[in-house]
A and B are shown apart, each in its own frame.
Chain A
Amino acid sequence: MKKKHLILALSVFLIFGLSNHVHSQSDKDIDQVAVDILDKMSDVIGEIESCAFQLVKDEDFINDDGMVERRRTHTTSYFKGPDRFAIRSRGHKGNKGYWYNGETLTYYSFDENNYVVLPTPNTSMATIDSLHVTFGMRFPAADLFYPSFTDDVIDAFDRVKFAGMKQVDGKDYFHVVAENRQLIFQLWIGNDGFYMPQMYAYTIKGDQPRSVSATFKAWELGVELPNPMFEFTPPDGARLISIMAQE
């Protein structure tokens, strides 16, 4: 008899638990137009064999006085094929560069003249993902280049909406907004036939909301990029140092 009660209690718990789970999934509000636009952008990015772009990113940062401060980072990125990239970044987190040649990634600090060389997975995207998870490295606009970007957005956000066509500096953009409990993500995609991302913004919710906004400059698609660009040559006196992995 006691066993029956236990089974009944467990079943009720499971049914309630599962129905809550299903309920939380059904809270999603996904706009098909937004999905189509994101798919279009991902289709184009998925066809690019090489590219170069610059990114100007403004990020809220809590300074030593506990105040929110806005800081700017300039990044120039080059991607070639599935297994090469080079990124140069200058901003409040220092002047640094990344070179990936399909086998190793070098992270070099221009300010400190030291570098780290790490064996990597054999694709740019797997490398970016792996370095982020293991060492907390963040690559500029990397989210947009993940191969399942649209599905990632649908997965990560509860609401995804097309917010209409917007004009900025005389150019037309598709404006997509996505939101979950922690984050509001906005993306402006160019309506110029290429459907490339032109601007994005994150707002991190919380008691002290912070935001990140970035603008792409000078997209170059299918550009010729010689392989030596992706090889790192240590400058004179540069030291190879160790690196700490995240827990």
Chain B
Amino acid sequence: MKKAASNIFSISFFILLLTLMAPVEMEAQRFGHGASRGGGGRTMRSTPRPSTSNRSTRPSTSRPSTSNRKSTINGGHQRNNNRSYSKPSTSNRTTNRNTNNRAGVENKKTDRSNNRTSNVKDRSGNRTNNRNVDRSNTRNSNNRTTNRNSNNRNVDRSNRNINIDNSRNVTINQRNTYVRAGYRPYVRPPYVWGGFRYYCHYPYFYHPYRPFYWGPYYHPWGYFVATIATTAIIVSIVNDSNEKEEYHYDEGTYYVKTEDGYEVVQAPVGATVEEIPKSAEKVEINETTNNYYYGGAFYEKNAEGYTVVPATAGTIVPALPEGGEEVKIGDQTYVVFGETYYQPIQVDGKDMYEIVEIKEES
């Protein structure tokens, strides 16, 4: 009796486990295509139809060999021959079924001049394909080292060629690209895509991303110099891990000392400097607060001078520095710096960017 009860328990548990393990339904185009995916995507079946276990036996055994298959656009109609409708079972119709095998590929062109593919990003910041992400820390836990595969780019700025070697590791400090929530409520409905809502005050208005050059003292992130000007000052901050970090600051640009020189990095959040370049622009955060914007960094004015602060959603900036990446999100294209997403907009006929507030759909 005890053994029987134990068996019932085991069987019941197994059935329960199978029920829980049933695959989650996936929407494809407008309705699901569980059958086209091999019958595994759906759990709901009509009773007169065979059980899922019967359906799973459908492929391969009676399938014609691929050598005889025509090169049809969808590989041929796949029909569940075990449907229990009144159709006579004598109809031994053969249909071409396998979409994964191809025929008629003899003319396939393999030599293509453009073999580059796009980077695929996800919201967690992981990148695949051409981009290798090394998550090992270089300076603190918030740093992310991204190995860019694009070749050296020659950036011509006002007749001066600056050679930026993007094959080197460019450090993106995520803490510096954190976005604070906006102060003003959004009247416009958000752009919804991929489980997230993208809020902006202005409508999307695409214009291509062209990094801005702030002047002769400005250097983009990742730029290397062997020596820095004697006018550079040392700026220290304490990072989230309670460790002291030292930067060299000169005319709006922050450097970190490396073995072979100095590397330009993002303005570290929390750093305070007495002066910022005169070309810094005032940007409105809310009705009573302004920030100063220079080289992609936001500064708050206080008694000690100017302190680097995180970006605030809803802030409108006229230009973006080097180091951003244009990313297609659904039908819209944003410029992304770490965690900061800039939406291209137009204000009074002028191309601008608005910092997007992103919320996960509940």
Q: Does A163 touch B at the CB level, under 8 Å? A: no
CB-defined contacts of B119 to chain A, threshold 8 Å: 242-243
CA distance A148 to B40 in the complex (A): 13
B195 with A139: CB separation less than 8 A: no
The answer to the question of B12 belonging to the interface, with a C-beta cut-off of 8 Å to chain A, is yes
The 4 A-B residue pairs whose C-beta atoms are closest, nearest first, are A28-B46, A46-B77, A151-B35, A148-B35
Flag whether B333 is at the interface (Cβ < 8 A): yes
Q: Specify which of A22, A103, A114, A125 is in contact with B74 (CB 8 Å cutoff).
A: A125
**Neighbouring B residues of A122 by C-beta, 8 Å:** 100, 102
The 6 sampled A-B contact pairs (Cβ below 8 Å) are A25-B44, A28-B47, A47-B72, A49-B71, A147-B76, A155-B45
Asked if A94 is at the interface (CB within 8 A of a chain B CB), the reply is yes
Which residues of A (119-176) have their CB < 8 Å from a CB of B? 119, 121-126, 129, 132-133, 136, 138-139, 142-143, 145-157
Total number of B residues with any Cβ neighbor in A under 8 Å: 85
Binds A, one of B80-88, B177-185, B243-251, B309-317: B80-88
Q: Are A112 and B120 in contact (CB under 8 A)?
A: no
Residues of chain B lying within 8 A (CB to CB) of residue A243: 118-121, 327-329
- Known contacts: A10-B9, A66-B189, A152-B31. The answer to whether A82 contacts B73 by CB under 8 A is yes
Per-position binary interface string of chain B over residues 260-273, scored 1 when its CB falls under 8 Å from any chain A CB and 0 otherwise: 00000000000000
User: Do B36 and A149 touch across chains, with their CB atoms under 8 A apart?
Assistant: yes
Residues of the A chain whose Cβ atoms lie less than 8 Å from the Cβ of B304: none
| Chain B residues, Cβ within 8 Å of A48 | 72-73
Looking at chain B's contact residues, is the secondary structure mostly helix, strand, loop, or mixed? Answer: loop
State whether B35 touches A145 (Cβ < 8 A): no
With a cutoff of 8 Å between Cβ atoms, the chain B residues found around residue A244 in the complex are: 120-123, 193-194, 327-330
Which chain A positions have C-beta within 8 A of B31?
143, 152-153, 156-157, 180, 183, 185
Contact mask for chain A residues 1-33; partner B; CB cutoff 8 A; 1 contact, 0 none = 001100100110010011001101111101010
Q: Is the CB of B330 within 8 A of A241?
A: no
Q: Which residues of A contact B60 (CB under 8 A)?
A: none
Nearest B-chain residue to A117, judged by Cβ: B117
Q: Are A227 and B77 in contact (CB under 8 A)?
A: no
Whether A132 lies near B28 (C-beta < 8 A) is yes
Partner of B109 from A30, A101, A157 at Cβ < 8 Å? A101
Q: Is A75 an interface residue (CB 8 A)?
A: no
Give min CB distance, A158 to chain B, whole Å: 8
B73 touches A80 (CB 8 A): yes
- A240 near B118 (CB under 8 angstroms)? yes
Which chain A residue has the least Cβ–Cβ distance from B22?
A21
- A246 engages B36 (CB within 8 Å): no
Given contacts A46-B76, A82-B74, contact A234 B114 (CB under 8 A): yes
Which size bracket describes the interface of A in this complex? 35 or more
Residues of B within 8 A of A124 (CB): 73-74
Q: Is A35 an interface residue (CB 8 A)?
A: yes
B116, B208, B330: which contacts A240 (Cβ < 8 A)? B116
- Tell me the complex Cα distance, A93–B206, Å: 13
Residues of B within 8 A of A80 (CB): 73
CB-nearest residue of chain A relative to B361? Answer: A247
Q: Which B residues touch A27, using CB under 8 A?
A: 46
Which residues on the A side are within 8 Å of B76 (C-beta)?
46-47, 147
Q: For B69, give the chain A residue with the smallest CB separation.
A: A82
Report yes or no: A39 in contact with B79, Cβ–Cβ below 8 A. Answer: yes
- Which residues of the partner chain A approach B108 to less than 8 Å between Cβ atoms? 83, 101-103
Specify the chain B residue showing the minimal Cβ separation from A147: B78
Check B57 for interface membership: any CB of A closer than 8 A: no
Within 8 A of A (CB), among B4-36: 5, 8-9, 12-13, 15-16, 19, 26, 28-36
- In the bound assembly, the distance between CA atoms of A14 and B9 in angstroms comes to 11
Q: How far is the CB of A227 from chain B (nearest CB, A)?
A: 6
Are the C-beta atoms of A148 and B9 separated by less than 8 Å? Answer: no
User: Which one of A14, A81, A109, A139 lies within 8 Å of B104 (CB-CB)?
Assistant: A81
Interface residue A104 (Cβ < 8 Å from any Cβ of B): yes
Give 17 A-B pairs besides A117-B116, A148-B77 with Cβ atoms closer than 8 angstroms.
A10-B9, A25-B45, A25-B46, A36-B87, A82-B72, A93-B331, A113-B208, A114-B326, A118-B117, A122-B102, A124-B73, A143-B29, A147-B77, A244-B327, A245-B120, A245-B121, A247-B122
Decide yes or no: A64 and B189 within 8 Å by CB, A26-B46, A111-B206, A245-B121 being known contacts: yes
A98 interfacial by beta-carbon distance below 8 Å: no
A interface footprint on B28-64 (CB within 8 Å = 1, 0 otherwise): 1111111111010010111111000000000000000
For A107, what are the chain B residues with a Cβ–Cβ distance below 8 Å?
328
Quick one: closest B residue to A157, CB to CB?
Answer: B31
- State which of B78, B122, B203 has its C-beta within 8 Å of the C-beta of A245: B122
For A101, the closest partner residue in chain B by CB is B109
Q: Is the CB of A42 within 8 A of B79?
A: yes
Is A71 at the interface (CB under 8 A from chain B)? no
Q: Are B15 and A18 in contact (CB under 8 A)?
A: yes
Say whether A51 faces chain B, with CB atoms less than 8 Å apart.
yes
CB distance from A181 to the nearest CB of B (A): 11
